[in-house]
Amino acid sequence: MTDAGYLARIHATADLVQSAKSTDTVVDHVRGDLVGLLGPRGCRCEYGTLLGQPPRLRQDGSVTVGRRPYDIYAHGWPAGETQLRAYGNGHYLGRFMLTPDPGPVPPPQARLVAVTLADQTGVALDTVRPVR
């Protein structure tokens, strides 16, 4: 994907956050973008309290397992699910749980865009009413 393609995803999500009447609309949109960017086999969103300590895709696009850096280029994605947290106004509001597919690791730019999209989801979770 080109830089213009990455920026288009960010702008489309930002526009959706501004106009969405429900958080589910934003979550579904971002979930689709995450699948397109990172290529996971599965992607779901969990709201609220953080349970467990699965591997984590961090704000800088790196991955940690526990508190230790994890080399995804050498080892691929960690086994099991990897979390991508969503923050709104500096508060943890939920996370996307990514089930990786074996294969090439997405480039750093894709991982940074994924983090940005998760942050935009956090803004929606903080400001838009859920439909549930």
pLDDT tens, residue by residue, 25-63: 999 999 999 999 999 999 999 987 778 899 999 999 999
| Nearest to 110, CA basis, from 32, 6, 27 | 6
Looking only at the bridges linking them, the beta strands covering 63-65 and 68-70 are antiparallel
Could you tell me how many residues make up the chain? Answer: 132
Residue 102: the pLDDT is 82
| pLDDT tens sequence for the chain (132 residues) | 788 888 899 999 999 998 988 889 999 999 999 999 999 999 999 987 778 899 999 999 999 999 999 999 999 999 999 999 998 888 888 999 999 988 889 999 999 999 999 999 998 888 865 554
Q: Give the helix ranges, DSSP H, for the chain.
A: 3-19, 23-38, 72-75, 108-127
Cβ atoms within 10 Å of 73's Cβ, excluding its own: 8
At 115 the pLDDT is 96
Can you give the pLDDT at residue 42?
94
